[in-house]
Amino acid sequence: MTRRLLKVFLAFCGVATVVYVMLVMLTASYPSRIALINNSDDIHVYRLSVGDTVAKNRKSRQAKKPELKTPRRGKEKSVQRVAEFSRHSAAADNFVKDDGTELNTPKRGEKTSQPRGAAQTPNSSAADSTITNSVRYLVFVCDGRRSCGGWGDRQRGLVGVYLLAHVTGRRFAMVMTRPCDVINHYVPHLVAWNVPVKVLQAAGLTSNLSLDDVDSRQRLTARLRVMDFNAVYPQTVVYIRTNAEYWLGIRASKLYTPVLPDWARGSRARYFAAGWTRLTAPSPSLQARLDRFLDRIDFDRRTRPLVCAHVRVGHSANFKRETAVRCNITTLPVLWDFLQPWVTNGSDVFLATDSYEVRNLTRHRFGARMLDTGEEIVHVDGRSTAVQDVCHGFQSALLDQLILTRCDVLVTSHSIFSQRAAYLRGRSDNLYSFLKGKITRYFI
């Protein structure tokens, strides 16, 4: 009886041993599964044994993180690509509004706001590690998509963007096609800002961003005091539409002050004039028109000072879209009386204005002593009435400003247009401001 029980026990053990060995062999030959488990810190790659589940792994991970193991040979590259894609997708969910705040990625099929004449590609991820071109661009944009202000606004904005490009190590470019391409009137001087559109498109194909900072009450300017621009906006190509004075924020930044160029130190007038002349020079056609005007008044052989005034009216018959009245026409006699002593002594008065009525009234007062370009009056942001040749009219406004920079006596108006002319003129002697019916000294 004892021997029989022993034989049964040994037989059972033998069968159990065989079953155990078979199970072990089956387990060893079964392929492992690879799963990506996204925790709050990072994306990790794990091997899951037979019988384990993602749910069980998540529960055990709360108590103790499982040991990180290496995936099978041949799967390493694909797993790394999946992990990188996941990280980039998380970063790609954030875009920037015109006020600098973040918003969700546009849904597929939605339109994105790219500047006309620039890269016509959707905004994309800020974390694209596949970009091999180390050149990053900062592009000042003024196209037909929306207003970017008058000529003085644009000058202020584009010089600010150029300074921002300088301190952030980016290459500056400009796309200004409203109301026509600026290259017809101003050409690059010391800075090659006319980067071909195809170059910008290629550079920003997978990493570009558009910021709209027009009339934003200096929101980005204030942020530049404390922010690292490239850390917040790491895209390869960043387009900015702005009329803000970024110089104010940049010079107050502890990060950017050490790399502030010499030409941007000192007064605002000195900074702007230096930045503008580094960027631009009059085109041959604009320079030719300036030379013709100066020859007409015998500028180089003048024996009397050239006296100039700018009168910015704002809302008028030819600028009906303007909402604000900058200068009340009833106050013009104050300006005329101020200019009269120079006229009496034989000087001519050059007048730049946005109003035909002001032009006609001033000519009636001073007769042949009153000078102007004789061209149609336009607002460069398209607020004027119909003009036969908008590009020619645009250049006429730029010609007015260039003449103001040559004046011996200059009276500015409530306008950035003549303010920037005063900056480019470069001195405070015989410089005045006509504002609210009063004329006062103006110092830059």
- Write down the pTM of the prediction: 0.69
pLDDT at 319: 62
**Cα–Cα dist 55/30, whole Å:** 21
CA atoms within 13 A on the CB side of 384: 22
* 95-282 and 296-441, same CATH topology: yes
Sketch the domain layout of the chain as residue ranges.
1-30, 32-91, 95-282, 296-441
**Cα–Cα dist 168/190, whole Å:** 19
**Cα–Cα dist 243/160, whole Å:** 9
- Collect the ranges in the chain with pLDDT lower than 70: 1-10, 12-13, 15-133, 315-325, 379, 381-388
pLDDT at 312: 92
pLDDT at 54: 34
Dihedral class, residue 370 (left if φ above 0, else alpha if ψ from -120 to 50, else beta)? beta
- For 173-200, what is each residue's pLDDT tens digit? 999 998 889 999 999 999 999 999 999 9
Q: Which residue has the tokens 């005329």?
A: 336
Question: Cα torsion for 76, 80, 86, 87, to the nearest 10°?
Answer: 150
pLDDT at 6: 61
Is 323 in contact with 363 (CB distance < 8 Å)? no
Q: What CATH code would you report for 95-282?
A: 3.40.50
Question: What is the distance of C-alpha 309 from the center of its chain?
Answer: 32
Is 306 in contact with 407 (CB distance < 8 Å)? yes
Sheet containing 137-142: order of strands: 171-176, 137-142, 237-242, 208-213
Secondary-structure class of domain 296-441 per CATH: alpha beta
pLDDT at 405: 98
Is 238 in contact with 209 (CB distance < 8 Å)? yes
Residues contacting 299, CB < 8 A, separation 6+: 306, 406
Angle between helices 416-425 and 390-404 (to 10 degrees): 50
Both structure tokens of 275:
């930045």
